Amino acid sequence: MTVISERLILASFASWAEDYEFLESIFKNRSDEKLKRNERDPPVSLFQSIEKENFERFKEKQRLLMDESSITQYSVIQTEHIRATIWKITEFKYNMRGYLTDLGWGEIFFDKVARMLSHNRALINADHKYGGSQAFGRRNNCIVKIDEMGLIEGTFYVCERNPRRKRQKVIQAFKRVLRNFDGPAEYLDRK
């Protein structure tokens, strides 16, 4: 049951980041044999039906997004424990949405956020709302927000006309953000 609930959490993170590639892998990689063994367990059956319903909704949302905006692909960067999608908002504004792919690593992640808060007060501020905490940072045209679930949202403003250099600047800016929390970041080129 822990595996199913962890998969649902990861699916909700991937859905928030609109990372349909990772979302599909979560559902495709599940072991149907293990699920069949646990079908008689009511909580497991409930999780299975929620997974199926959510996955169908996510697939419909993906189809609508791709149809409306003519997007065929989004960029992905990844570290050992964090994965992030990059979306173009305007010609000069890009958005990154990152999330933990290893929930067991969350405590280390939040320790790193706390250390950054204590050492870089000029760059990152803490805002305590609704019993949770959110960290904010601003550096080199990049604004970063981390919420109490460990979801990382970044906005990067770039003034570059050359599309190739612009793309490199965007990817490098967001890689730097992820490296602050978890080792080297790699760009996953899916061409």
DSSP string covering 70-108: -----EEEE-SSEEEEEEE-SSSEEEEEEEES-GGGHHH
Q: Is 176 in the same domain as 84?
A: yes
Point out the domain boundary residue: 26, 42, 69. Answer: 69
Could you give the 3-state DSSP secondary structure of residue 155?
strand
Q: Is 43 in the same domain as 85?
A: no
Query: Could you tell me the CA-to-CA distances from 73 to 27, 38, 65, 81, 167 in Å, in that order?
Result: 20, 36, 11, 22, 14
Q: What is the pLDDT of residue 15?
A: 83
Which strand ranges, in their side-by-side order, compose the sheet holding 93-100?
124-129, 132-139, 142-146, 152-157, 93-100, 82-88, 75-78, 186-188
- Structural domain range at position 104: 77-188
**Which whole number is the average pLDDT over 134-153?**
80
**Which whole number is the average pLDDT over 9-14?**
87
Could you give the 3-state DSSP secondary structure of residue 135?
strand
Q: Is 99 in the same domain as 167?
A: yes
Q: What tokens were used for 57?
A: 């909704």
Q: Give this prediction's pTM.
A: 0.73
Q: Is 64 in the same domain as 14?
A: yes
Mean pLDDT, all residues of the chain: 75
Which CATH number is 167's domain given? Answer: 3.30.310
Query: Could you tell me the CA-to-CA distances from 41 to 36, 45, 47, 48 in Å, in that order?
Result: 10, 6, 10, 11
Could you give the 3-state DSSP secondary structure of residue 189?
coil
Point out the domain boundary residue: 49, 69, 89. Answer: 69
Q: Is 65 in the same domain as 90?
A: no
Q: What tokens were used for 80?
A: 């050992």
| 67 pLDDT higher than 80 | no
Query: Could you tell me the CA-to-CA distances from 174 to 62, 63, 118, 137, 168 in Å, in that order?
Result: 23, 26, 22, 13, 10
Q: Is 95 in the same domain as 170?
A: yes
Hunting for tokens 């999330």 — which residue is that?
99
Point out the domain boundary residue: 13, 45, 69. Answer: 69
Q: Is 91 in the same domain as 58?
A: no
CA angle, 25 as apex, 152 and 143 as ends, to 5°? 15
Q: Is 62 in the same domain as 121?
A: no
**Which whole number is the average pLDDT over 161-172?**
91
Q: Is 6 in the same domain as 27?
A: yes
Q: Is 146 in the same domain as 64?
A: no
Q: Is 35 in the same domain as 102?
A: no
Q: Is 178 in the same domain as 96?
A: yes
Query: Which of 43-47, 49-53, 101-105 shows the highest mean pLDDT?
Result: 101-105
Report the number of distinct structural domains present in the chain: 2
